[in-house]
Amino acid sequence: MPPAKFFVNRGIVTSRTDLLNVLRPLEKQTVVYRHYRGHGLVQQGMGWIERIVADDPLTSTFFTPLSICINVDSFEHLEFETRGDQLLTYRLVQGDETVVLDIAAGAVPPEGEAPGQLAFDTSGYEQMELLGPGGEDA
């Protein structure tokens, strides 16, 4: 039996288990993603990685600004390398399509879109306070 592969700061990962292990630190992180077909940029954005799954053929991979779900079975392999700031760049590859992921720590969102607080108009609502038993503050 050959020894298990090992990687230091970069590599090309092909097994489902290795893909899952390399991607696991991205779960619950905000990332910048870029989708390429061939060498052309198709889409880009910033989103929150909600789930990373394996062994679940009914779960799709999707990238949206609100939520990202990655099924490792959607990709042939993963290329990763360590950047100068000691974070990783991930390249998920399927045929001639590639999705490049970078953790968004300190990153500028694509196309100059600044993240902001969701606005919610509270003018039509009244605040109510609940009192403890007997009408006294708890």
Q: Report the alpha-carbon distance of residue 80 to residue 89 in Å, rounded.
A: 6
Please tell me the distance from the alpha carbon of residue 80 to that of residue 1, in angstroms, as a whole number.
26
* Rg of the chain on CA atoms, in Å: 21
> How does pLDDT run across 81-119, given as a tens digit for each residue?
999 888 899 999 999 999 999 998 754 444 554 444 445
Helices and strands of the chain, counted as H and E runs: 1, 8
Note the Cα 32 to chain centre separation in Å.
8
pLDDT tens column, 12-61: 999 999 999 999 999 999 999 999 999 999 999 999 999 999 989 899 99
